[in-house]
Structure 1
C-alpha cells in the first residue's frame, strides 16, 4: 500500500510538471493617442467623405491562444470628429445628424467572438450611437502582441478592424440627397497591458535593442489638428 501511494504521488508530480501552464487572459487599456476610428461615406456621388475620431478609451481582455475569451468595451468621443473642416465638423455634430450635444459618446461592447485563425477573428458586439443600439460585426486582424520598444516598455497589443453599417439604422437619416447611407469603418487600435494583470510582471524589462531614451519623455509628440481653410460646400 505504501509503495502504491508513493507511485501515485510521483505520477501526480510528473503530470503537474509536464502539464501546460494556462495563463489567464490579460487586460489591456486602450491607448487613446494611437487608437483611431476612421469612417468613409458617400458625398453626393462625387467622392467619399473621410473623417476620423481620436481619443477613444476602454479595455480589451485578450489571450492570443484563446480568442473566445476576448472581451472589448470601448467609448468613442463623438465630439472629437474631424472631417478636415471646422464648419463641416459642426454640421455633422448637429441634432439632425449625430446629435452630439445629447449623445456625445458612442460605445461598443462585444457580445461574442468568432475565431477564424491565429491572426483573425470576427468580433460581434453592440454599437450604441445617437441613442440607438445595433449589432455590428468587426473583421479583426491581430497585428502584434509584444513589449513596446519605447519606455516604459509596456506589453502592447495592436489590431486593425473593418466594419460596415447603415446610418439610417441609428436614426441618422438627414440629407439623403447628399450623404450616403452606407458607412465604411476602419479602426486602428493599440492597447497597453494593465497593471495587475496575471503576467504583467515582466513589462519593466527593456528589449535588447531598446534605444537610449529618457523614460520620462512621451513616446510621441502631442498630436494637433492642423488648421484648415473653410470649405465652400457643406453637406
Structure 2
C-alpha cells in the first residue's frame, strides 16, 4: 500500500510540471537556495547559513519517475555564523579539513497526503554524510511548483554525537548542545538542452 501511495504521489508531483517530450535534468539554483542551522552553547543561541549548495537530478515529468536521485552537496567552509572564531569552531566540529563537504543523497520519497494542492508533503529518506560519517536520514519536506521550477523546503534536527562529532574543547566547556535544528530551502530549475 505504501509503495502504491508513493507511486501516486510521485506521479501527481510531476504532473504539475509542464509536460515535455523527454526526461528533464534539474539543477539546484544556489541564488534561490539556502541551508540554515541553529546552535546553542548554553550561554547564547547562534545561527549559521550558506547558499553555496550544489545538486542535480533527472526526472521524467510524464511518468512521474525520478531517473537519478538527487545528490546535494554543501561545502563546510561556506557555513557562516557572523563570527570568524565561531566559524572555525563549526569547521573543527564538522571535521572540514578531512571532510570538506556535507552530502545528502535521496534514496526514497514517500508522498504524505495533506489535502493541499499548493504544497505536496513528502517523507524524504536518504544518506546524510557529515564529518565522514554516513547515516540514514528521514526528513519531512514540502514541494511547490513555480512554472517549470520545483521548490522543496523542510527541516530536521541533527545530533552531533549521532555523527561522532565533538566541538572544540572550549565549546564543550561552554556547554554546546548536542541537538542542532537545520532548515533547508531549495529551488530546482530545469536545464535547457540536457536530458
Q: 2:152 aligns with which of 138, 159, 172?
A: 159
1:40 paired to 2:41: no
Greater Rg, structure 1 or structure 2?
Answer: 1
Measure how far apart 1:102 and its partner are. 1.3
How has the CA–CA distance of structure 1 residues 67 and 120 changed in structure 2, closer, same or farther, with 3 Å as cutoff? farther
Whole-Å separation in 2 of the counterparts to 1:63 and 1:161: 23
Structure in which a larger fraction of residues adopt strand: 2
Write out per-residue CA displacement over residues 132-164 of structure 1, whole angstroms, 9 at most, x where no aligned residue: 000111211113231xxxxxxxx3221111112
For the pair 1:85 / 2:78, whether they are aligned, the reply is no
Return the offset for 1:176. Answer: 4.0
Shift of 1:29: 0.4
- SS of the aligned residue for 2:193 comes to coil
Counterpart contact for 1:142–1:159, Cα < 8 Å: yes
Query: In 2, distance between residues paired with 1:60 and 1:77?
Result: 19
SS, match of residue 38 in structure 2: strand
| Aligned equivalents of 2:183, 2:41: Cα separation in 1 | 18
Change (3 A) 1:103 1:32: same
Would you say the 8 A contact 1:28–1:194 is kept in 2?
A: yes
CA gap of 1:78–1:179, structure 2 versus 1, over 3 A, is same
RCO (CA 8 Å, sep 6+): is it higher in 1 or 2? 2
Tell me how many residue pairs correspond in the alignment: 167
Distance between the aligned counterparts of 1:83 and 1:69, measured in 2? 35
The answer to whether the 8 Å contact 1:67/1:113 transfers is: no
Q: What's the offset of the Cα at 1:51?
A: 0.8
Q: Distance in 2 between matches of 1:66 and 1:167?
A: 39
Of residues 95, 102, 105 in structure 2, which corresponds to 1:99?
95
Partner of 1:52: 49
Tell me the distance in 2 between the aligned counterparts of 1:108 and 1:86.
26
Q: Does 1:169 align with 2:165?
A: no
- Equivalent residues of 2:123, 2:139 under 8 A apart: yes
CA RMSD of aligned residues (A): 2.5
**In the aligned structure 2, how far is the partner of 1:77 from the partner of 1:195?**
26
TM-score by length of 2: 0.75
1:193 aligns with 2:190: yes
User: How does the TM-score come out when normalised to structure 1?
Assistant: 0.63
* d(CA) in 2 for partners of 1:183, 1:65: 39
